[in-house]
Structure 1
Amino acid sequence: MTSLQHPPSQPTQPPTPPPPPGRQQEEERSTSPVRLAILAGLVAWLGLAGGWAPLVVVFGVVVMIFLHELGHYFAAKWGGMKVTEFFIGFGPKIWSFQRGETEYGLKVIPAGAYVKVIGMNNLDEVDPADEGKTYRQASYPRRMAVAVAGSTMHFLQALLLLFVLYSFVGVPGGSLTEDKEWEVGEVVPGSAAADAGLQAEDRVLEVDGRRYETFTTFAEDIAERPGEDVTLSVLRDGEVLDVPVEIGIAPSDPARGLLGIRRDLVTTTVGPVRAVGASVSDFWDQTGATLGFIGSFSPTDFWDSVVSSGSEPAAVDSPQPASGGGQ
Structure 2
Amino acid sequence: MTVLMYTVGVLLFVFGVAASIGLHECGHMYPAKKFGVKVTQYFIGFGRTVWSRRRGETEYGVKAVPLGGYVKLVGMLPPGPDDDPGTVRKSNTGMFAQIISDARSAEYELVEEGDEDRLFYKLPWWKKVVVMAGGPMVNIVLAFLLFAVVFMGHGVRTATTTVDSVSQCVIAVTKANATGPVRACTPADPVAPAKAAGLRPGDEIVGFNGKPVPDWQALQTAIRGNGDGAAALVVRRDGRDVTLTTKTTVSPRVDVNDPQRITKAGFLGVSPTVVLERQGPGFVLSTMANGTWETAKALGTMPVKLYHVGRAALGLEQRDQNGPMSVVGAGRVAGEMASAPTVPLSERFFSLLLLLAGLNLFLGMFNFVPLLPLDGGHIAGALYEGARRGVARLRRRPDPGFVDVARLLPVAYVMAGVILVMSVVLIYADIVAPVSFS
| TM-score (norm. length: structure 2) | 0.39
Q: Report the Cα offset of residue 92 of structure 1.
A: 1.6
Report how many aligned residue pairs link the two structures: 223
Matched, 1:82 2:64: no
Distance 1:269 1:253, change over 3 A: closer
Which secondary structure does the structure 2 equivalent of 1:51 belong to? Answer: helix
| 1:51–1:95 CA distance, 2 compared to 1 (3 A) | same
Mapped partners of 2:71, 2:160: distance in 1: 49
Aligned match of 1:137 in 117, 122, 125?
122
More helix by share: 2
- Match for residue 95 of structure 1? 51
**Counterparts of 2:129 and 2:9, CA distance in 1:** 37
CA distance in 2, matches of 1:133, 1:63: 28
Matched, 1:266 2:275: yes
Counterpart in the other structure of 1:325? none
1:62 corresponds to 2:18: yes
Structure-1 residue corresponding to 2:160: 177
The 5 Å alignment of 1:243-262 reads: none
Counterpart Cα distance in 2 of 1:211 and 1:217: 19
CA distance in 2, matches of 1:178, 1:82: 61
Q: Distance in 2 between matches of 1:56 and 1:159?
A: 19
Deviation at 1:64, TM superposition (A): 2.5
Query: Partners in 1 of 2:142 and 2:261 — Cα distance?
Result: 38
Matched to 1:175, the amino acid is T
Residue 113 (1) aligns with residue 69 (2): yes
Q: In the alignment, is the contact (CA less than 8 A) between 1:120 and 1:135 conserved in 2? A: yes
What is the match of residue 424 of structure 2? none
Q: Is the 8 A contact 2:252 2:263 kept in 1?
A: no
Distance 1:189 1:298, change over 3 A: closer
CA contact 1:191–1:248 (8 Å) conserved in 2: no
Query: Percent identity of the aligned residues?
Result: 28
Question: Residues 295, 111 of structure 1: CA spacing in aligned structure 2 closer, same or farther, 3 A cutoff?
Answer: closer
Q: How does 1:28-43 map to 2 (within 5 A)?
A: none
Q: Secondary structure at the match of 1:127?
A: coil
After superposition, give the CA deviation of every residue in 1:238-279 in whole Å (9 maximum; x if it has no partner).
xxxxxxxxx9998986999x9xx9754323225xxx53x543
Q: Find out whether 1:279 has 2:269 as its counterpart.
A: no
Give the drift of 1:205. 11
Distance 1:301 1:89 in 2: 27
Which secondary structure state, in structure 2, belongs to the residue aligned with residue 136 of structure 1? helix
Say whether residues 1:161 and 2:146 are aligned partners: yes
Higher relative contact order (CA 8 A, sep 6+): 2
1:87–1:105 contact (8 Å) kept in structure 2:
yes
Which is higher, the Rg of structure 1 or of structure 2?
1
2:161 and 2:272 in contact (8 A); partners too: no
Distance in 2 (CA, whole Å) between partners of 1:253 and 1:314 is 18
In 2: Cα distance, 1:298 partner to 1:113 partner: 23
Give me the whole-angstrom Cα distance separating, in 2, the residues matched to 1:78 and 1:177: 51
Change (3 A) 1:97 1:160: same
**Deviation (angstroms), 1:295:** 11
Residue matched to 2:136:
151
Q: Distance in 2 between matches of 1:288 and 1:111?
A: 25
Does the Cα contact within 8 Å between 2:164 and 2:271 map onto a contact in 1?
Answer: no
SS state at 2:47 partner: strand
Q: CA deviation at 1:73?
A: 1.0
Structure 2: tracts of 5 or more residues without a match? 80-103, 167-177, 186-191, 206-215, 229-250, 255-259, 322-438
Flag structure 1 segments of 5+ consecutive residues without an equivalent: 1-46, 197-203, 225-246, 316-327
Normalising by structure 1, we get a TM-score of 0.51
CA deviation profile, 1:3-48 (whole Å, cap 9, x unmatched)? xxxxxxxxxxxxxxxxxxxxxxxxxxxxxxxxxxxxxxxxxxxx86
2:60 match = 104
Q: 2:182 aligns with which of 192, 198, 210?
A: 192
